[in-house]
Amino acid sequence: MKCAELLATLNEYVDGTVDPAICEVFEKHMAGCNPCQVVVDNIRKTITLYRDGRPYQLPVECRQRLHSALRERWKETHLTGGPAPA
């Protein structure tokens, strides 16, 4: 396996979905290639940082508007049996 071939199977390797035979070749390459080892480690950390990062906060006023809209639509569809006529 060459470095470029390793890159092409990188997704499957870090997601744990790589075919076991390819996984073995992948790890054999990494054992002898420090740059690829570091790249794989960097990628794992990158994914972890984004996965564990904070979502944007929904501003309070937006949240209030959202819930009023939901309540209003609920009333229209649940009390009259369908959307209010235009």
Partner 1 sequence: MTNETTIAVTSDVELVGRAKKGNLDAFEALANRYEQRVYSLALRMLRQEQDAEDVTQQTFLSAMENLKGFRGEASFSTWVLRIASHAALKVIRKRKGLDTVSLEEATEEEDSYGSIPHPEYIADWRQSPEELVRKNEIQRLLEDALAKLDEKHRLVFLLRDVEGLSVKEAAEALGLSEGNTKVRLLRARLQLREELTRTLGDPERRVVRTHRDH
- For residue 72, the minimal CB distance to partner 1 (Å) is 10
Chain positions contacting partner 1, by CB under 8 A: 2-4, 7-8, 10-11, 14-15, 33-35, 38-39, 41-43, 45-59, 62-63, 65-67, 69-71, 73-74, 77-78
- For residue 2, the minimal CB distance to partner 1 (Å) is 5
- For residue 78, the minimal CB distance to partner 1 (Å) is 6
CA distances from 42 to 36, 45, 49, 58 (A): 10, 5, 10, 31
